[in-house]
Structure 1
Amino acid sequence: MPQTSTPEMSTMTDFAGRRKRLQASLRERGAEAMLVTHATNVTYLTGFTGDDSYLLLSPQGALLLSDPRYDQQIGEECPGLEALIRKPTELLLKVTCATLRKLSLPNLLIEGEHVSVNLFDHLQAESGIPELIKGHGQVEALRMLKDATEIALLRRAVSIAERAFTSIRAQLSGKQTERELAHELDRLVRKMGGSGCSFKPIVAVGARAALPHAVPGESTLDSSPFVLIDWGATLGGYRSDLTRVLVTSKIPAKFARIYETVLTAQQAAIDALRPGVLVSEIDRIARESIASAGMGKRFTHGLGHGIGLDIHEAPRLGKNEDRPLESGMVVTVEPGVYYPGFGGVRIEDDVLITDRGCEVLSSLPRELEANQVELLDGP
């Protein structure tokens, strides 16, 4: 899907430096060149926000293979980057293979997790390259560590999401449906300067909050004393991701216990975030905190994930992950406890790993008392 660029993204980012770092990693793999076919990775390496285009990195330099729809756009977004614009009657795959044949490369690294069987077969049969090396996560490894421009965009994406949420919580009405609230969130994100929500917002009233990925429906806010909202904003292609649970009437005692359990686990995990700590250790800390309250079996997903150009990217905070945290990573911390038929609580914030520890980028209050709201037309 095409991204939306901003002047900050196109003029301040060192895309050439990113490509040089990737080329250095290719030499470590013994690869002569790399074909980048995943649209998000092409954007990361070039600033180009269109689609249906590939980036070829070879000893001859960087070459963007695209089509006439994007001729002017490439000039604006990627000044100085060489581009091969295929004719409207030509297929991208055919032009790519013809280009590779001219280079006479001994091998080519491809994005193993993004290349289809059809693309692989065509490259193998028509590129003239003796060896195709199936890579894994070469560009994603670079994307894990955010540079100053990326961090600035993420900060603003968080701020836009928070401003939209603050605005919407001040005007909640009892007859408002989950679907209406989700649509209003997207409208407000755009009004605040974002290009839209990072993903389709999750709005789940009462028992439906037990569904971690609930699809907003027709349940109204006055049909239960609480509502879970998971949303984010996109700015310059970069995505924030937050979750809050609002209480709209008298707090059930069971709900209060769940909420405090989740909040305690989240804070314990955040307190442990610093360079060198394994992501699995962070997950363990939150999981054991919830288990100590007797709710361990109700925490049914990983603790969090990286955010950036994708809403879910490396690193994943999970129990089977052995990657150490590094300064420059930006991750979500989102423990949750879910009881089918009753509801659930998930509290999520976006956190930057720094040289000395971490910085929580989001600032919305997390305490239960601060998340009580009054519906405009009553319960």
Structure 2
Amino acid sequence: MSDRRQKLRRQLKQEGLDALLVTNFKNVTYLTGFTGDDSYLLVGKDGDVLISDQRYTTQLEEECPGLELAIRGPGSKMLEWTAKVLEKSKATRVGIEGESMTVGVRDALAAALAKMELAPTAGWVEDLRIIKDKDEIDRTRRACEQARRAFEVVRAKLTPEMTESQVAAELEYQARQFGAKGLSFEAIVAVGPRAALPHARPTTRRIGEDDFTLIDWGVNEGLYMSDLTRLVPTAKISPKLRKLYGVVLNAQLAGIEAIRPGVTCEEVDRAARSVIEKAGYGKQFGHGLGHGVGLEIHEAPRLAQGQTTELKPGMIVTVEPGIYFPGWGGIRIEDDILVTRSGHEVLTSVPKDLDECLVA
């Protein structure tokens, strides 16, 4: 973790700042290894201080050995304590995370530290998080494997009487059975016409009420996330479903094939989107192709139109094209892809052949 903080120190020097106050809890985790919350990190030119409270003292000592701690007592408020730590640092220009710190917090600190300049920064830590190291990649692999195993058990248990909510709950239970902290997000389980809602929330609608069910889920292995989507036919596959599914699958495969270092995010989006547009369904694909995953389920970079970021080895992105028809349903197929030095690697391994996905 110290090497990550050292990169920030170099940026501090370039920007003429004495320190950076990290208030985004996920960024604190990334920079220190501390898995709790309600804690800030002050990254300074000559050292770092993790600002927390007594609830986490033992956890901090275990997870962040050697890191200087500023532990507040039960009678001290977080902002007051943070202001004291900043004052003690003798910094004159301090960067703050402008995209996550509230105006109220900023104003309170400014009032307590009248002689200190608080300079907004944007995306410093998030930019570091885009490129995953070996440990982060291994943990993402674990999250993908746990997601696969949970899905296989749930798919084998599917019955027409099960509701969307029951399927979502079973996915959560099985993920935990395989060692996960839980799901990355509330699973999307959408039967038939409800699959036309990209972010459908599970309801009491039963699996047997239509011919197919869309399931979008992911697993949090402890810190790192996975994100997958599969369409599960629950009756005889209609010609319309087979045709549309084939279009989406070909688009996804084209998008995955385009992933390699140096290619821009919008070029990957275009590779997939053009397949759907040529098939005549461009208006039915109304969202970006994918997004980064890591400590959070939605991270940079974004695979979408107008996104000129170039892919680099170590990035992990989803590829999830879809076609949606209100009143009929929707089809989306999603996998997690690692950008490698020579191209890409598909980290997820859940079958997506439509006949193989059929629940008899």
State the match for 2:97 in structure 1. Answer: 111
State the match for 1:138 in structure 2. Answer: 124
Which runs of no fewer than 5 residues in structure 1 stay unpaired?
Answer: 1-14, 375-379
Counterpart selection for 2:310 from 295, 314, 324: 324
Q: Secondary structure at the match of 1:170?
A: helix
| Cα pair 1:101 1:129 within 8 Å, conserved | no
> Is 2:108 the partner of 1:122?
yes
Counterpart selection for 1:349 from 328, 335, 347: 335
Q: Deviations over 1:111-165 (max 9, x none)?
A: 1100101111112221245422111110001100000000000001000000000
Q: Secondary structure at the match of 2:157?
A: coil
Letter in 2 for 1:188: Q
State the match for 2:58 in structure 1. Answer: 72
State the match for 1:286 in structure 2. Answer: 272
Quote the Cα distance in structure 2 between the aligned partners of 1:155 and 1:90: 41
State the match for 1:209 in structure 2. Answer: 195
| Cα pair 1:280 1:317 within 8 Å, conserved | yes
Letter in 1 for 2:302: R
State the match for 2:344 in structure 1. Answer: 358
Counterpart selection for 1:149 from 124, 135, 138: 135
Cα shift at 1:257:
1.5
Quote the Cα distance in structure 2 between the aligned partners of 1:197 and 1:130: 42
TM-score for the superposition, normalised by structure 2? 0.98
| Cα pair 2:289 2:303 within 8 Å, conserved | yes
Q: Secondary structure at the match of 2:108?
A: helix
Quote the Cα distance in structure 2 between the aligned partners of 1:197 and 1:234: 5
Q: Percent identity?
A: 51
Q: Secondary structure at the match of 1:251?
A: coil
Quote the Cα distance in structure 1 between the aligned partners of 2:279 and 2:13: 50
| Cα pair 2:70 2:85 within 8 Å, conserved | no
Cα shift at 1:103:
2.3
1:253-268 matches, within 5 Å, as 253-268=239-254
Q: Which deviates more from structure 2 when the two are superposed, residues 347-356 or residues 231-240?
A: 231-240
> Is 2:77 the partner of 1:56?
no
1:240-255 matches, within 5 Å, as 240-255=226-241
- Alignment length, in residue pairs? 360
Counterpart selection for 1:91 from 77, 80, 88: 77
Q: Deviations over 1:315-342 (max 9, x none)?
A: 0111021100000000000001100000
Quote the Cα distance in structure 1 between the aligned partners of 2:156 and 2:115: 61
Cα shift at 1:60:
3.3
> Is 2:221 the partner of 1:235?
yes
Q: Deviations over 1:213-272 (max 9, x none)?
A: 000001111110100000011112100000000011111222111111110000001001
State the match for 2:357 in structure 1. Answer: 371
Letter in 1 for 2:232: L
Quote the Cα distance in structure 2 between the aligned partners of 1:339 and 1:258: 11
| Cα pair 2:292 2:318 within 8 Å, conserved | yes
Cα shift at 1:283:
0.8
Cα shift at 1:170:
1.0
Quote the Cα distance in structure 2 between the aligned partners of 1:136 and 1:29: 12
| Cα pair 1:68 1:87 within 8 Å, conserved | yes
| Cα pair 1:232 1:241 within 8 Å, conserved | yes
| Cα pair 2:268 2:303 within 8 Å, conserved | yes
- Greater than 6 Å deviation, 4+ residue runs: none
Letter in 2 for 1:313: E
| Cα pair 2:261 2:340 within 8 Å, conserved | yes
TM-score for the superposition, normalised by structure 1? 0.93
State the match for 2:144 in structure 1. Answer: 158
Q: Secondary structure at the match of 1:102?
A: helix
State the match for 1:25 in structure 2. Answer: 11
Q: Deviations over 1:58-91 (max 9, x none)?
A: 1230100000000111001111111010111101
State the match for 2:165 in structure 1. Answer: 179
Q: Secondary structure at the match of 1:239?
A: coil
Cα shift at 1:30:
2.2
Letter in 2 for 1:189: A
Q: Cα RMSD (Å) of the superposition?
A: 0.9
Q: Deviations over 1:179-208 (max 9, x none)?
A: 000000000000011010110000000000
Cα shift at 1:95:
1.0
Quote the Cα distance in structure 2 between the aligned partners of 1:171 and 1:338: 27
